[in-house]
């Protein structure tokens, strides 16, 4: 199945380390980061799950829940969690789906046969409170994810949802933003009374809304 941005994230009911998860019900009115792992007891995944656990509060402060998925069974997950806590200094504090029947992997297109026919690639889905897919990132099994980038994208999405702006290359929360081209100068004056730097008619740089 090939998903696209803006589509509703597929619902599912799957066992997890925190009991059965009916995804849409579990998500509620929050955002989510759904991320897959090639397999249990793999070194890169171990570091990733520990890192997500350590930074759970940073996601929670943005109204974002974390949920991982691996095609290994629940008893394997429960044993693996001990290694994660031992080696990474953080216990698992969010659900890890036991997708042994590849229900989630198939719904979300996490198996890439030309990369590996048996394991999920490292895919990240950012899903908003309307249950729409807002971002998809796919890494090869050998490459760990960058949590700073995932948080940066969430900050950008949530900011641009609420204001008529876009975020430029390498933008970080608190830095200047771009007024969207669809907004006329007259409309922009109402929204951005402090003005902007018009580098070209379509590239108008202004202070991030809400920044002091």
Q: Is position 117 annotated as part of the catalytic site?
A: no
Count how many residues are written for the chain: 212
Give the bridge partners for 139, in sequence order.
122
Cα distances from 181 to residues 26, 74, 173, 178, 187, in angstroms, run: 37, 49, 21, 9, 11
Which of the 8 DSSP states describes residue 2? -
Catalytic residue among 32, 33, 45, 188: 45
Closest-CA residue to 104 (of 4, 2, 11, 5): 11
Phi then psi for 114, rounded to 5 degrees?
-75, -20
Matching residue, tokens 């930074």: 55
Collapsed DSSP state (helix, strand, coil) of residue 86: helix
Which of the 8 DSSP states describes residue 143? S
Number of H helices, E strands in the chain: 7, 11
Q: Which residues are known to be catalytic?
A: 45
């Amino acid at each position: 199945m090939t998903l696209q941005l803006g589509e509703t994230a597929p619902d599912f009911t799957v066992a997890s380390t925190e009991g059965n998860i009916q995804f849409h019900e579990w998500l509620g009115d929050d955002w989510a980061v759904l991320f897959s792992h090639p397999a249990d007891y793999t070194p890169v995944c171990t570091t990733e799950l520990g890192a997500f656990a350590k930074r759970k509060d940073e996601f929670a402060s943005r109204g974002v829940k974390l949920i991982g998925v691996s095609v290994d069974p629940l008893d394997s997950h429960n044993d693996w969690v001990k290694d994660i806590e031992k080696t990474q200094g953080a216990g698992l504090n969010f659900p890890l789906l036991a997708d042994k029947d590849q229900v989630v992997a198939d719904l979300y297109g996490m198996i890439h046969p030309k990369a590996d026919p048996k394991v999920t690639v490292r895919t990240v889905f950012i899903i908003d409170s309307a249950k729409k897919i807002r971002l998809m990132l796919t890494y090869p099994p050998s490459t760990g994810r960058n949590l700073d980038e995932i948080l940066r994208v969430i900050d950008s999405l949530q900011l641009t949802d609420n204001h008529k702006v876009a975020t430029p290359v390498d933008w970080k929360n608190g830095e200047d933003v771009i007024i969207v081209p669809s907004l006329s100068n007259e409309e922009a004056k109402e929204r951005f009374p402090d003005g902007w730097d018009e580098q070209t008619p379509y590239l108008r740089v202004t202070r991030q809304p809400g920044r002091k």
